[in-house]
Amino acid sequence: MDLAEITDPERPYTRRSFTALFLEGRALVARRFVEAGLSVRLDKAGNLIGRIEGRDPSLGVIAIGSHSDTVPSGGRFDGIAGVATGLEIVRALRDAGTRLDHTLEVIDFLAEEPSEYGLSCVGSRGMTGSLDGRMLDLVEPGGEPLRDALGRVGGDPDRLGEAKRSDVRAFLELHIEQGIVLESQSLDIGVVSSIVGIRRIEIVFDGEADHAGTTPLHLRHDALVAAAQTVGLVRRVAEELDREGSDYFVATVGILTVEPSASNIVPGRCRLVIDARTTAPALTTRFVETVDRESKAAAARLRVRRSAFTTLSDGPPVACDPDLQTALRRAAEDLGLKQTDLPSGAGHDAAFMSRICRSAMVFVPCRAGKSHAPEEWADRDAVAAGAAVILQAVQALDRSLQEAGPALGGEMP
């Protein structure tokens, strides 16, 4: 709730990554970390990390975390509940006089939400060696490259290799469900089985700006009409793929910008960004091939030029670690909580963390499934129940990971 006060007053609850408000929120998180007895640092990928050494640092790290940035006019729990959970677990261990054998870290990942640079999960990409030079060259509408923004918030794009971790043994993330399954079935806990893959594609149509009153329709080169036909195409193809079988597929055009954007000017340029999500990478391949072919044909029909068809980011579906899922289920059972297994249709930092360690997630109910909106709400007891599950799982993992060899999550076939 304190973080929620740090917001654009005109658009609650907005604390976008790389902004002054985001840095103000981060300062609050860092203070709370210090108050809980954690040492605090920023890594080269811009992640805020609180750390408490274990009795045997050679065993590696158990990490808990999420993110503190929001979407525009977002909510008070998406990401933030996961960071608060890590902080509360540290406090609970401290109050009980318990010190783990493993080192424990609480991580606030940089820019999990899609940033103004067209990229999400910036910090977890950096921690897992998945943030490359092409991504760093992405530019926000004002002209600033991501590499400059990363340096501005405390990272170091020239030393990103130092952010990649090999010492994390397990990562756990609490998140509100962002759906209605748990609430509608009066369940306390969702143990996440898999995390959807996300590909984001940018398409740009270039036509010619003309007077809207004096240019006949058959002589126009209207970029927006080509874009509009492509928006309809995206919905139609996504529906066809989703109906085919048990695999999940959705696609959304969430960004559409028009230039010059005046009521009396034929649009000369239009840019759209597609967000495609699936549990089956083959469906994404088919979707992209169809949209590529048909958007090019739309441009030709309407006598405009399709000047860009670019993949901005591509994260494959991920299966959560089965051993961590088992630890979470056992913890929920021991605590008398009603649970179920759930796939995640949203992307999370846990998906990238699975590239370097065992990774899993807990979902807790949110009111009416509402998320990415000011109405987003999770009851205090619901978040506390999820935190208790992760706390118990962390204590169990502190014992079991000493006996098990390293194991990673994995991309889904």
- Residue ranges of the chain with pLDDT lower than 50? 407, 413
Say if CB 377 and CB 367 are below 8 A apart. yes
Of 205, 202, 174, nearest in space to 188 by CA: 174
The DSSP-derived string for 265-284 is EE--EEEEEEEEEES-HHHH
Say if CB 17 and CB 122 are below 8 A apart. yes
Q: Which residue has the tokens 């599950």?
A: 389
- Report the alpha-carbon distance of residue 252 to residue 230 in Å, rounded: 11
Residue 198 phi, psi dihedral angles, 5° rounding: -130, 130
- Using DSSP's 3-state secondary structure scheme, residue 108 falls into strand
- Report the alpha-carbon distance of residue 334 to residue 257 in Å, rounded: 51
Instruction: Say how many CA atoms lie within 13 Å of 202 toward its Cβ.
Output: 15
The token duo for 102 is 């493993």
- The sheet carrying 305-315 orders its strands as 249-259, 269-278, 197-206, 305-315
- The pLDDT assigned to 245 comes to 78
- Using DSSP's 3-state secondary structure scheme, residue 21 falls into helix
Q: How many CB atoms lie within 10 A of CB 157?
A: 19
Q: How many CB atoms lie within 10 A of CB 124?
A: 33
Paired with 199 in beta bridges are 276, 314
- The pLDDT assigned to 412 comes to 55
- Report the alpha-carbon distance of residue 252 to residue 200 in Å, rounded: 10
204-240 pLDDT, tens digit each: 999 999 999 999 999 999 999 999 999 999 999 999 9
Q: Convert 51-75 to b/e letters by CB count within 10 Å (16 or more is b).
A: bbebeeeebbbbbbbbbbbbbeebb
- The pLDDT assigned to 246 comes to 78
The token duo for 166 is 């090999």
Say if CB 345 and CB 155 are below 8 A apart. no
Conformational region of residue 347, where left means phi above 0, alpha means psi within -120 to 50, and beta covers everything else: beta
Distances in whole angstroms, Cα of residue 372 to Cα of each of 1, 69, 75, 123, 154: 16, 12, 6, 20, 27
Of 162, 136, 194, 133, nearest in space to 47 by CA: 162
316 alpha-carbon distance from chain centroid: 13
- The pLDDT assigned to 255 comes to 94
- Report the alpha-carbon distance of residue 23 to residue 312 in Å, rounded: 25
- The pLDDT assigned to 413 comes to 44
Helices 80-95 & 20-35, crossing angle to 10 degrees?
10
Residues making up the binding site for allantoate: 200, 264, 277
- The pLDDT assigned to 118 comes to 86
Residues making up the binding site for Zn(2+): 67, 78, 113, 175, 372
Q: Convert 8-17 to b/e letters by CB count within 10 Å (16 or more is b).
A: eeeebbbbbb
Of 193, 180, 191, 187, nearest in space to 338 by CA: 187
Say if CB 13 and CB 76 are below 8 A apart. yes
The token duo for 310 is 């670019």
- Report the alpha-carbon distance of residue 312 to residue 69 in Å, rounded: 20
pTM over 0.75: yes
Per the prediction, the chain carries an average pLDDT of 96
Q: Which domains does the chain have, with CATH numbers?
A: 3-195+317-411 (3.40.630.10), 197-315 (3.30.70.360)
Say if CB 233 and CB 181 are below 8 A apart. no
